[in-house]
Amino acid sequence: MSLESNVERVVPVMVPMPAERPYSYGVPIGMHVEPGSIVRVPLGPREVAGVVWDGPGEQVAASKLRKICHAFDCPPLPEEMRRFVDWVANYTLSPPGMVARMALRAPAAFDPEPMTEGLVLTDLQPDRLTPARKRVLEYAGDGQAWTRSGLAHAAGVSSSVIDGLISQGVFEHVEIAARPIVAMPDPTFGKGQLTPEQQSVADRLREKIAESSFSATLIDGVTGSGKTEVYFEAVAAALEQGKQVLILLPEIALTQAFLDRFHDRFGAKPAEWHSDLAPRKREKVWRQVAEGQVRVVAGARSALFLPFNELGLIVVDEEHDPAYKQEDRVFYNARDMSVVRARIGNFPVVLASATPSLESRVNAEQGRYERLVLPVRFAQAAMPDIAALDMRRSPPRPGGFISPALIEAISQTLDRKEQSLLFLNRRGYAPLTLCRVCGHRFQCDNCSSWLVEHRFRKQLVCHHCGHHEPQPDACPECGTLDHLVPCGPGVERIAEEIDQHFPDARTIILSSDLLGGVKRLRLELEAIANGEADIVVGTQLVAKGHNFPGMTLVGIVDADLGLTNGDPRAAERTFQLLHQVTGRAGRTGLKSKGLIQTYQPEHPVMKALVSGDAEAFYEREVQERRQSGLPPFGRLASIIISASTKPEAEGYARELRRAATHASEIDVLGPAEAPMALVAGRYRFRLLVSASRRSDIQSYIRAWLAKGPKPRGSIRVQVDIDPQSF
């Protein structure tokens, strides 16, 4: 290969684009790059940041070879991370460039920390000690370097006081990093006393950390058993070994309480990572993780792609939670990919849940994971007493949704000055609006879904594409005024019914569309924990991990809601969700109760919830999955074909189906309309690939899509390996 004279060699660079493999670039003479280096390269008319990948670059004609423009002064993306990116891309059938993109989500962080002028004390004393000067010296006496304005602010003096001291030589200038140094978590800081059961689980986890090799452990512990306390011991052990730690949490709203709790245990907060983080903060965390200043990150699923150099433990809290699945661009399950990341890095991963996923249970049964059980709540707190309310026998009053028995229970709870939680997994006021005269139903123009009335916002809203319109007075079909009726309840409507029964109670609605976003939500959660509400009406946001000390009654408004969609996973999901919700009650030892409103009290989910016997329920579910060859006993992939017109989508789906080759132990089903047939103006069809556990479903699909008809026009094809619903 003849190289341009000022090019030293050719390297592959992964660019954050839907690229199937890295592109080749020339390294200018004198520029130092190695695999993992973060560089800026020309791409078409632009320049983008990419990562030098492994191996030699593919040969490119010397005349076409473009050069790396700039190598950032930034720690290289570790080898483990590059292998992880390749693995995820290969498994999810995503372009590796798109996976790499997730690891490069903080562009401004590639430049080194900006330096700024700092001040430190010299040995000289000021000529005169005024009270203001005294305060400044007290603050500056901590041995750290301060910025001029930071010191003035801390001491509560004007900057001229500082300037006066500088001119007398009391301070000298030094260069300091503009980004503040992060406090180190201290593994011994707030170590508490564990119960004997907790201690034995913690000891086992410590052994795993000491082994410093890959292992997967499932902590299966009832709500309130102290799973968090216990995995904190694993975190402490990893920190003692000088390792970095990643704790994944399913819900951003949860992190605030979690950060505080972590602080109590370790004397410093972990770094936070999620998509709502301000860009500046995100860049800071990314860089400090890469440089090793941040030792612990608590984050959402995307934290898995942070550039850890010394990662030694991943904890996945609430591992069963569907929020770990990303269904956008790269479709991946962060729980599963955590296990992969741990295997590549050769360190332990700990999954925790009160209601483990069927997949993890089966993995434990088959010996791939070790299952550690915490069977009782901490501090003699009893599990709530659960009863099913048969809605056929105890119907609500006309126009209402809450049965007399539940109303009575709320009333008694109020009398005891304790808190009640009513759970309904539906935002807004009513899921459907109907014209009483002509029967017209308000539907989204872009999606196959009804518009949901949000009474506080005075809008009809599509929960799939976000389309919203003002709440109408007249029917668009027949023009009749004031005959539109809301059908069915959302949380707003339940809160209204509660207000009618208990006008003096303090009732809070907790739902992700609360005005004020995450901040407001956190405040509300705190208010509830502090006893500033009597009755909480909430969506699934209230299900997860919160500790509400005064909560002794949980009412499930519609336990049947998630069971009707025909998905084989529906029972498992409903059980997990409702068990989590009822688990909010009685966490501090008060006697507590869960009441489940249902039209099918004989359903296995209701029976399992009432009896508290999860084992029998899981065994039955496992049996069914095994018999039908569904995951985790078989493999599934869903191929979603979408287009802006229905014939286009359907036509292509059929063509693609015909191009599928026969393979033993692999079946292609469909096409059929996708469960949501129209989303945001795109018509969707689905092909399901079902295969035996040992077949290579990825290779099959890759080969099939490569030789099948090319998507044209508005057609888009998305592959979802291990889909959430099937």
Query: Which residues make up each annotated binding site?
Result: 435, 438, 444, 447, 462, 465, 475, 478
Nearer to ligand ADP (CB atom), residue 264 or residue 613: 264
Least distance (Å) between residue 204 CB and ligand ADP? 16
Among 459, 547, 692, 714, binds ligand ADP (CB under 6 A): 547
Give me the sign of the Cα torsion angle 35, 241, 264, 249: positive
Q: Residue 39: in which H helix or E strand, if any?
A: strand 38-43
Q: Of 254-262, 410-418, 465-473, 709-717, which part binds Zn ion (CB under 5 A)?
A: 465-473
116 binds ligand ADP (CB under 6 A): no
End-to-end CA distance of the chain: give it in Å, rounded.
51
**452's tokens:** 């949901």
Nearer to Zn ion among residue 208 and residue 467 (C-beta):
467
Cβ–Cβ < 8 Å for 616, 608? yes
Q: Does 638 bind ligand ADP (CB under 6 A)?
A: no
Answer with the entry of ligand ADP, Zn ion, none that 524 interacts with (C-beta below 5 to 8 A by kind).
Answer: none
Query: Whole-angstrom Cα distance, residue 551 to residue 534?
Result: 9
Among 315, 335, 317, 318, smallest CA distance to 326 is for 335
The C-alpha atoms of residue 331 and residue 328 are separated, in whole angstroms, by 6
Query: To the nearest whole angstrom, how small is the minimum distance from the Cβ of residue 545 to ligand ADP?
Result: 7
By the rule CB under 5 A, 467 interacts with Zn ion: yes
Residue 154 to residue 141: CA distance in whole angstroms = 12
Q: Give the one residue of 23, 266, 324, 378 binding ligand ADP; rule: CB under 6 A.
A: 378
In the complex with Zn ion, the residue whose CB is nearer, 412 or 446, is 446
Task: Choose from ligand ADP, Zn ion, none: what does 695 bind? Cβ within 5-8 Å by kind.
Answer: none
For residue 216, give the amino acid letter. A
Residue 308 in contact with ligand ADP, rule: CB under 6 A = no
228 binds ligand ADP (CB under 6 A): yes
Which C-beta is closer to ligand ADP: that of 304 or that of 354?
Answer: 354
According to DSSP, the residues that pair with 386 across neighbouring strands are: 594
**Interacting partner of 378 out of Zn ion, ligand ADP, none (Cβ under 5 to 8 A depending on kind):** ligand ADP
Which residue's structure tokens are 């269904």? 327
- How many other C-beta atoms can be found within 10 angstroms of the C-beta atom of residue 515? 7
What does 467 bind: Zn ion, ligand ADP, none (CB cut-off 5 to 8 Å by kind)? Zn ion
Shortest distance (Å) from residue 544 CB to ligand ADP: 10
- Binding-site residue numbers for Zn(2+) are 435, 438, 444, 447, 462, 465, 475, 478
Report 188-227 residues binding ligand ADP (CB under 6 A). 192-195, 198, 221, 223-227
* Partner whose footprint covers residue 198, from ligand ADP, Zn ion, none (CB < 5 to 8 Å by kind): ligand ADP
Q: Which is nearer to ligand ADP, 495 or 614 (CB)?
A: 614
Distance (Å, whole) CA 603 – CA 140: 68
Is residue 691 within 8 A of residue 666, CB to CB? The reply is yes
Closest approach of ligand ADP to the CB of residue 562, in Å: 22
Query: Considering the complex, what minimum distance in angstroms separates the CB of residue 666 from ligand ADP?
Result: 41
Residue type, 380: Q
229 binds ligand ADP (CB under 6 A): yes
Q: Does 462 bind Zn ion (CB under 5 A)?
A: yes
Binding characters for Zn ion, 627-666, by CB under 5 A (x = yes): ----------------------------------------
Report the nearest approach of ligand ADP to the CB of residue 595 (Å). Answer: 21
- State the minimum distance, in angstroms, from the CB of residue 452 to Zn ion: 10
Closest among 161, 46, 62, 174 to 121, alpha carbons compared: 174
Under a CB-based contact definition with an 8 Å cutoff, are residues 557 and 423 in contact?
yes
Rounded to whole angstroms, the Cα distance separating 360 from 356 reads 6
- Rounded to whole angstroms, the Cα distance separating 345 from 245 reads 12
Bridge partners (DSSP) of residue 422 are 537, 555
CB of 447 to Zn ion, least distance (A): 3
Residue type, 416: R
Half-sphere exposure of 223 (CA within 13 A, CB side): 26
Q: Which residues, numbered 415-444, are part of the site for Zn ion (CB under 5 A)?
A: 444
| Contact flag: residue 433 with ligand ADP (CB under 6 A) | no
DSSP single-letter state for residue 441 = B
3-state secondary structure of 306: coil
Beta strand 634-643 pairing with 682-692: antiparallel
Task: Return the residue matching tokens 């809605």.
Answer: 391
Q: How far is Cα 186 from Cα 262, in angstroms, rounded to an integer?
A: 11
In angstroms, what is the minimal distance from the CB of 269 to ligand ADP? 17
Q: Which amino acid is at 99?
A: V
- Say how many residues touch ligand ADP, by CB under 6 A: 15
Binding flag, residue 50, ligand ADP (CB under 6 A): no
Binding site for ligand ADP (CB under 6 A): 192-195, 198, 221, 223-229, 378, 547
Binding site for Zn ion (CB under 5 A): 444, 446-447, 462, 464-465, 467
